[in-house]
Amino acid sequence: MKNTTWLRITGRIIVIIWAGFWVFFAVATILSEPFSAVGLLSCIFFSLMFVISALIPLKWESVGTYLLIIEGVIFLIVYPLRMASRLPPLTILFMILTLAIPPLTAGILLLMHQRRMR
């Protein structure tokens, strides 16, 4: 059994930065646009979604690991399919790199940590 603490710490840092980036983005968007109740509710919903997605792996690592992997795969598959006709390819690539890859990477790192600890 090797020391795999760095896998766990790196995975957690990635999740926190990922969630923080998207919460910042949601709040900055709502503050920069004219007020609307729908916009405010969207901001609250998406911010909560990212915060909860980041907190679950910190509290319940085994469940959170699989949650992150599932989220990453869903974002990786669904987003390009839904947005292919609406957005340019580079925008879709940017969204995949910022929305799907971080939780997938963090989930894989946490899974590697768990497997090596056995």
Overall number of domains in the chain: 1
Ranges of H-type helices in the chain: 5-32, 37-59, 61-83, 89-95, 101-117
pLDDT in tens, 38-70: 888 988 999 999 999 999 999 999 999 999 999
pLDDT in tens, 20-43: 999 999 999 888 989 888 888 988
In terms of pTM, does the model score above 0.85?
yes
* Cβ atoms of 64 and 57 closer than 8 Å: yes
Domain enclosing residue 10, as ranges:
5-117
